[in-house]
Structure 1
Amino acid sequence: MRIVHLSTVHHDWDNRIVNKECRALAEAGHEVHLVISADEDRVTHGVHVHAIQRRSRARRLLGSQWEGWRKVAELKPDLVHIHDPELIPMGVTFARTRGVPLIYDAHEDLVKQLTTKPWLGPRTARLINPVARQLLHLADANCAAIVTATDDIAASFSPTRGGRDRPVVTVRNLPWGRDFTVVDVARNPRTAVYTGDLTQERGASLMVHAIEQAPEATLVLAGRLLVPESEIERPQVDYRGLVPPSELPGIIAGARVGLIFLKRLPNYENSIPTKVFEYMASGVPFLATDFASWKQLFGGCEGGVFVDSDDPEAVVRELKSLLDDPERCAELGRRGRRAVEQEFSFEAEATKLVGLVETLG
């Protein structure tokens, strides 16, 4: 099949879109294209990336949509897979007029996500909330299939459409087990790592504060910088910028502990944290916010430590304790890697996605 993925919101190295879903379909033998904001066309993991212009949020709604759908039409797809809520109306129209199946991919709970957007005030979020619900209803009523990142999000969509069964499939953001080589973290220097968007809601200042309290320790950060650069410019911070997913395993492998501290926001408390899985896949223990859902998901693995990230001094204590005990880190890391091998790898998720696509073709 010729499958076209489209996003006007996500960056062109998005791990879920490029390195997981598109890659899985290409490896299964399908012709996969991705239309997305990028600097230039390229081929990655057998996926043909078609660059559209990067635009501001306001200009994206019209300019990027027009350019993106024009490229999709030129590719004459057998199936279209969209990744942004704002693409739903045009996606439904395209699917109807061209007679091709449409998949909507819900990366996050859109309604809850609105409360985490720093550029939306509470009043604006309340005004937009009905629009978000209407978009999701439009997708629910018209898409041939829905793909979601969590079971909680999947439960918000209907398993039927027009009286017939309609697939709603959870494809979790797990790591490819084969991409990560297990390291002996006991031999690693006193280094903590975080990979992902750098925002205050994702603990940017907290991580910097904690590493400054740990003598002779370094914090390696890799991801989009969405806070002022002055927030992370410290002697103990090594900022690598936004890197391709293929470089993340090597960056993680150099650390003794992986960090993830999120604020207690509705969209985060029931999320599935990709970073924790990636740390575990490398044999690196995690230090993470003690969300109840995370403790339930990861607690039995004993691959890391949970902490109240609303208490900065508790975070400092736990981070110093891990950095000071390389043998404990190594044991936690071994347990985490074992859990990935047995339960938490994308290989199984890829099978679900490929199976879904092939039932629609």
Structure 2
Amino acid sequence: MAASTDPDTPRALVVTVVHHPQDSRIRHREIAALLAAGWQVTYLAPFVAHDLPVPAPEGGLTCIDLPRAAGRDRVPAARAARAAVRRLAPEHDVVLVHDPELLPATAGLGLEHLVWDVHEDPAGALVVKEWLPGPLRRPVAGAWRLAERLVERRHPLLLAEHAYADRFRGSHTVVPNAVVVPPEVPPAGGARLVHVGNLTTARGSEVMVQAARLAHAASDGAITLEVVGPVRDDASRAAMEAGVAEGVVVWHGFQPAERAMATIDGALAGLSLLRDLPNYRGSMPTKVVEYLAHGVPAITTPLPLAREIVQEAQAGLVVPFDDAQAAADAAVELWRDPQRAAGMGERGRELVRGRYDWAKGGAAFVAALTDIARERSPRR
């Protein structure tokens, strides 16, 4: 379907060079909400770099390929994104960018209608980025904090967490990392642990595999770990491959959102073993909410927001950071009491339905962009 030329049809240009084109927040929540509300969307993302075909135009969505920014190889992606945005921005009511590096990449283009969707803490994340030399990490993080304030003066922001508001001086719309709550799910139980999401050492990939190894042994070979997600560092790849070779891990790699979410259904528990790092402390791990939405209890490290939701709903178990034995013990505890696991999953599901359902968040997101377009669009 060709894009509408009707000036009254709102149009959004959505851009990422870092995230996977099938990223849940970007593609399956925000873009889907815009399309459902009658918007036309042009989506710039690194399809080819992720071995995906560039989708044909359909249902108001037009996709364009960009290079991927990864490690130290980020300049070509930034240049390509700048050129594409310069060309396409005047045809759209809002330009929604999802990567911090796209802010300097588009500087000087006069994009009053550019919106930054803040769903990470770049300064906090820099302290663990292997591609950035160690001595530069803290100075660059400090410089980024100052840059955020400058960006805030020029552009509207959307925040994925209420806690992110502390980084900024003004008031900004919060669009939480809500999830799609399925209407029906099977009860939690069995002997299958799951993990859905990117695999890095910072996200606990090595601890996760070791926990699976220990739980497998303690359950006489019953408990296994099913993993959906791509690896982002060599150590995580080695850990996954070792777990697969030992028969304690089933690793599917990246899967489309529908398949990834279906993996959660009926599992014993979902693992979220993120480490105690600055960029995680103010965020709700989306995977915890996804597990609970599917009626599966979470085994999580004590990051503040994850601990709060799990303990409030009595919907899982909290284990210390970097403690594979504690995670394994939690898994075995639930395996021995499947009724308890099922009850935790149902309580978590009820909490998520009331607080984190994208059916409510999507409307707020579309309303925020509609207001920004009304005030700033170059087409109106």
Both structures adopt the same fold (TM-score exceeding 0.5)? yes
Equivalent residue in structure 1 for 2:108, among 93, 97, 101 = 93
Of 347, 353, 360 in structure 2, the residue corresponding to residue 335 of structure 1 is: 347
Matched, 1:317 2:335: no
Q: Does 1:354 align with 2:366?
A: yes
| Match 2:174 to one of 161, 170, 177 | 170
- Residue equivalent to 2:303: 291
Aligned partners of 1:210 and 1:316 also within 8 Å: yes
Aligned partners of 2:19, 2:178: CA distance in 1, in Å?
18
Is the 2:298–2:310 contact (alpha carbons within 8 Å) kept by the matching residues of 1? no
User: Larger deviation: 64-73 or 337-346?
Assistant: 64-73
Structure 2 residue matching 1:85: 3-state secondary structure: coil
1:213 match: secondary structure: helix
Report what 1:125 is aligned to.
137
Give the match for residue 140 of structure 1. Answer: 152
Select between 67-76 and 287-296 the one with higher mean Cα deviation.
67-76
Task: Give the strand-richer structure, 1 or 2.
Answer: 1
Paired residue for 1:7?
Answer: 16
Displacement after TM superposition at 1:66 (Å): 2.7
In structure 1, what is the Cα distance between the partners aligned to 2:60 and 2:336? Answer: 43
Q: Give 2:223's aligned amino acid.
A: A
Q: What is the TM-score with the length of structure 2 in the denominator?
A: 0.85
Tell me the TM-score normalized by structure 1: 0.89
Worse overlay, 3-12 or 116-125:
116-125
Q: Give the deviation of 1:248 after TM superposition.
A: 1.8
Residue of structure 2 in register with 1:162 after alignment: none
Cα distance in 2 between the residues matched to 1:272 and 1:149: 9
1:257-278 Cα distance to aligned partner (Å, 9 max, x none): 1010111111112211100111
Alpha-carbon separation, structure 2, partners of 1:53 and 1:359: 31
- 1:179-234 deviation line (CA, Å, top 9, x unaligned): x6421223xx3100001111111111111111112232211111111243331222
| Shift in Å, 1:118 | 3.1
Q: 1:269: which partner in 2?
A: 281
Match of 2:318 among 285, 296, 306: 306
Distance 1:95 1:59 in 2: 26
Q: State the Cα RMSD in Å.
A: 2.1
Give the corresponding residue for 2:4.
Answer: none
State the distance in 2 between where 1:124 and 1:208 align: 31
- Aligned partner (choices 140, 149, 153) of residue 160 of structure 2: 149
- Preserved CA contact (<8 Å) 1:257 1:323: no
* Greater displacement, 69-78 / 213-222: 69-78
Q: Which residue of 2 aligns with 1:232?
A: 240
Name the CA distance, whole Å, in 1 between partners of 2:67 and 2:305.
Answer: 39
Corresponding letter in the other structure for 2:92:
P
Query: For 1:230 and 1:111, how far apart are their aligned partners in 2?
Result: 28
The equivalent residue for 2:254 is 242
**3-state SS, counterpart of residue 81 of structure 1:** strand
- 1:14-25 to 2 correspondences below 5 Å: 14-25=23-34
Describe the superposition over 1:153-176 as per-residue Cα deviations: whole angstroms up to 9, x where unpaired.
1232232xxxxxxx6111111111
Runs of 5+ consecutive residues of structure 1 not aligned to the other structure? 160-166
Partners of 1:258 and 1:332 in 2: CA distance: 12
Distance 1:4 1:73 in 2: 11
SS in 2 for 1:315: helix
1:48–1:258 CA distance, 2 compared to 1 (3 A): same
Aligned to 1:71: 84
- Which amino acid in 2 is paired with 1:87? L
Q: Cα deviation per residue 1:26-58 (whole Å; 9 max; x = unaligned)?
A: 111111121011123216886432112336544
User: Could you say what secondary structure the match of 2:132 adopts?
Assistant: coil
Q: Is the 8 A contact 1:52 1:68 kept in 2?
A: yes
Find 1:33's aligned residue among 36, 42, 47: 42
2:109 aligned partner, one-letter code: F
| Identity over aligned pairs, percent | 29
Length, aligned pairs only:
346
Shift of 1:254: 4.3
Tell me which amino acid in the other structure corresponds to 2:351. Answer: A
Q: CA deviation at 1:151?
A: 1.2
Distance in 1 between the 2:80 and 2:268 partners?
A: 44
Whether the 8 Å contact between 2:18 and 2:70 is mirrored in structure 1 is: no
